[in-house]
């Protein structure tokens, strides 16, 4: 299903980007204020570069905002493991006590 959705979304998107790049090859001057430098770049590079920069910045912000959730999840996992060990230990001790009590309750074998 992932491959199908990739091709259904990715292929048309790639075609649109390619058509956009071919149709916007005109160069635009970008001045790097406050420095005296300027650069001539194709319009498609400016637009697609801005989109790419925005995607990277958004992904970074989402990843950083999820750090606290990942820490909480890790702490919960540690707590669950500890509780499972305690439960297994308690169950094993209860089984031993039950066997010991049953052994005392049985009459001696004749």
The model's pLDDT over 39-56, given as tens digits with 9 standing for 90+, comes to 999 999 999 999 999 999
On whether residue 40 sits in a domain, the answer given is: yes
On whether residue 38 sits in a domain, the answer given is: yes
pLDDT at 2: 81
Tell me: pLDDT of 6 over 90: no
pLDDT at 42: 94
Please count the structural domains in the chain.
1
On whether residue 31 sits in a domain, the answer given is: yes
On whether residue 77 sits in a domain, the answer given is: no
pLDDT range class, residue 101, cuts 50, 70, 90: confident
Mean pLDDT across the chain:
92
Answer for the pair 29, 42: CB distance below 8 angstroms, yes or no: no
pTM for this structure?
0.63
Domain interval for residue 42: 18-55
On whether residue 5 sits in a domain, the answer given is: no
On whether residue 25 sits in a domain, the answer given is: yes
On whether residue 22 sits in a domain, the answer given is: yes
44 or 2, which is more confident?
A: 44
On whether residue 30 sits in a domain, the answer given is: yes
């Amino acid at each position: 299903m992932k491959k199908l959705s990739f091709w259904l979304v990715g292929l048309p998107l790639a075609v649109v980007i390619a058509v956009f790049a071919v149709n916007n090859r005109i160069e635009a001057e970008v001045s790097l204020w406050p420095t005296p430098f300027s650069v001539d770049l194709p319009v498609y590079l400016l637009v697609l570069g801005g989109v790419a920069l925005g995607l990277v910045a958004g992904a970074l912000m989402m990843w950083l905002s999820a750090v606290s959730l990942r820490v909480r999840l890790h702490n919960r996992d540690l707590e669950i493991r500890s509780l499972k060990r305690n439960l297994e230990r308690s169950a094993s001790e209860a089984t031993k006590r039950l066997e010991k009590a049953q052994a005392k309750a049985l009459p001696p074998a004749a």
